[in-house]
Structure 1
Amino acid sequence: MKFSMKEGGFTAQLPYGQLDVSGDEQYGFRPYQLLTASIAVCSGGVLRKILEKKRMNVEDIEINTNVYRNAQEADRIEKVEVHFIIKGKELSDVQIKKAMELTRKNCSMVQSVIPVIEVVETFEIVPV
């Protein structure tokens, strides 16, 4: 990726479109938001593939995150909580827990950050 300086931040032209990044939300996505989104969406994509391969009847997956930063250490991200709300039919806690374990092992973003950032994944099932 190539980033060019712009007012208030940096920008990159990517195949999907323009990515504006800045420490100020007025000018683009903040770096911690992109890191959090990468962890959440990578996990969600891996989970979705696993559930599809297991032929589980999932209608929707919503992902909520919480980020904990250390103000004494340059606002370093110390913990990311990723909570999945899985809507579907005939889903069991045991099945989803196993899928979540596989997700953690196979998500490249989670595996990249867990040596220095605590990543906690939780889920809830919403029957439809």
Structure 2
Amino acid sequence: MEFVAKEKGFIAHFSYGDLHVSGDDEHGFRPFQLLVSSIAVCSGGVLRKILEKMRMPCSDMKVTAEVERNEEKANRVEKIHLHFVITGEQLDPEKVKKAVELARKNCPMAQSVEGSIVLTESFELVS
């Protein structure tokens, strides 16, 4: 990956499109947004695959992320809580709970911040 400076941030060119990154959200995605997005989307994707393997495919999923930052320490991300809203038929709450735990263990992005950022999850089921 290559990031090239522009007047108010950086730009990277990818096959899907250009990624604009800036500390000012008027000029691109903020770095913490990309960090949280990568963890949320990776976790959701892994969870979806696990549910399919458990023969509990979901017809829809929404992930919300609550982020806690520490202004006294360079505004670093300290906690992320992911909440999964999973829609599907015959979703067993106990099996989904196990799937959420497995998703964290198998998500490369979640594992990359293990020990640095407190990551918690919750879920609700919709039929």
- Report the TM range for the smaller structure's normalisation: over 0.9
The structure with the largest strand share of the pair is 1
The match for 1:62 is 62
- Quote the offset at 1:57 in angstroms: 3.6
- Distance between the aligned counterparts of 2:114 and 2:122, measured in 1? 16
State the aligned residue count: 127
Stretches of structure 2 lacking an aligned partner (at least 5 in a row): none
Alignment TM-score, normalising by the size of structure 2: 0.97
Stretches of structure 1 lacking an aligned partner (at least 5 in a row): none
> SS at 1:68's partner residue?
strand
Q: Is the 8 A contact 2:12 2:19 kept in 1?
A: yes
Alignment TM-score, normalising by the size of structure 1: 0.97
The match for 2:90 is 90
Q: Is the 8 A contact 1:20 1:27 kept in 2?
A: yes
1:52 aligned to 2:52?
Answer: yes
- Quote the offset at 1:92 in angstroms: 1.6
| 1:87-115 CA distance string (max 9 Å, x none) | 11111210101111110110001011021
The match for 2:124 is 124
Q: Is the 8 A contact 1:7 1:27 kept in 2?
A: no
Q: Percent identity?
A: 55
The match for 2:9 is 9
The match for 1:42 is 42
Let me know the Cα RMSD of the aligned residues.
0.7
- Distance between the aligned counterparts of 2:90 and 2:53, measured in 1? 16
Q: Is the 8 A contact 2:9 2:22 kept in 1?
A: yes
- Distance between the aligned counterparts of 2:11 and 2:83, measured in 1? 30
The match for 1:19 is 19
> SS at 2:88's partner residue?
strand
